[in-house]
Amino acid sequence: MQLTGIGEQNIDCFKALLPQSYDLNDIMVGAIGYGKAVGAASFSLVGSSIYMDHIFVDPDFRRKGVGSEMIKSFAAEMKKIVVGALHTDYYENSEGIRPFLEHLGFVSEADGEVFSVPIESFYGSDALNKVTAKDSKNKLIPLGKLTTKQMDKVAQKLEESGTDPHMVHDGSMDDELSLVSFDVKTGEPDGCIFCVRREDVITVSFLGSFQNDPRDLMTIVAGLKSVAEDEGITTGRLQFVSMDEKIRDFVKKLAKKPEDLKSEGAMYSAVLAL
């Protein structure tokens, strides 16, 4: 078996093994065996972290080490450039993925139940559009544009609420869709939404109000909608990782029709230290 990078010169050989929404700007690795493409994996750089977005092996070549070899080889190359870890997410009903990842040394952790809604339905949410039309006492700032002092304040608030504060500084959430809400009068953070955008899916990894005020949550999500519209995002899915009952109830308001919101089951994060 031979491993190769995937680019414009050979993409046609691997298209059947890649998702329809593949991006040539991603890092893609392919496996060739018996004169044909037998495996493909895509990775993306999110902040200073590397995520495995997709891996697929031809059914006739599974359980023959193809997937393992692609990940091991890629991880070895990333280690050379001092990347500390390889990340990925998966649903609990993804057949065989957990033992496969754990065999390679990934450590899994449950994030919570995932709810997804089509972007078009999210934009049409009545509850959201009512808030969008109102003036807000808050100022929304993208996470990547915060000053060091502002980042420290947000990290402190997250730690006080029992949430890992490291994502504020590690660059993994530095997307224009990751927003922090600051009280205009006090200058203090009162909530935030952190997103990871990969392929046609926007995953809200964290959503919270430091004041436990549902109105703050709606204002923050309305800000997300505004930024997404400005960036021309019109298709795909928005998914929320729900950590508690309050967030689950809140997310149910964010679809134009209740039936548009679907549970995808529990999501797990997996990390391979390099």
| Structure tokens that stand for 215 in this block | 């109105």
Helix (H, G, I), strand (E, B) or coil at 167: helix
| pLDDT at position 134 | 53
| pLDDT at position 122 | 94
Helix (H, G, I), strand (E, B) or coil at 108: strand
| pLDDT at position 164 | 77
Whether 254 contacts 239, CB under 8 Å? no
| Structure tokens that stand for 138 in this block | 């808050």
Rounded to two decimals, what is the model's pTM? Answer: 0.72
Topology alike, domains 2-83 and 113-266: yes
Domain 113-266 CATH (choose: 3.40.630.30, 1.10.10.60, 3.90.1150.10, 3.40.50.1370):
3.40.630.30
| pLDDT at position 132 | 61
Q: Which of 79, 53, 55 is nearest to 3 (CA)?
A: 55
CA angle 109, 30, 12 (to 5 degrees): 125
* 2-83 classified as CATH 3.40.630.30: yes
Question: Radius of gyration of the chain from Cα atoms?
Answer: 20
Q: How many CA atoms lie within 13 A of 15 on its CB side?
A: 7
Taking the CA atoms of 74, 76, 82 and 84 in sequence, report the sign of the dihedral they define.
positive
| Structure tokens that stand for 204 in this block | 């809200």
Domain positions in the chain = 2-83, 113-266
- From first to last of its 274 residues, what are the pLDDT tens digits of the chain? 889 999 989 999 998 898 777 777 788 999 998 889 999 999 987 666 788 988 999 999 988 999 999 999 998 888 888 677 898 988 888 878 899 999 999 999 888 888 899 999 999 998 888 876 555 678 999 998 999 999 999 999 998 988 878 778 766 676 789 999 999 889 999 999 999 887 788 989 889 888 877 788 888 999 999 999 999 999 999 998 876 777 778 888 899 998 998 888 888 889 998 8
Distance CA 161, CA 48 (A): 25
Enclosing H/E stretch for 181: strand 179-183
| pLDDT at position 266 | 87
CA angle 44, 52, 161 (to 5 degrees): 90
Whether 8 contacts 23, CB under 8 Å? no
| Structure tokens that stand for 183 in this block | 């009280």
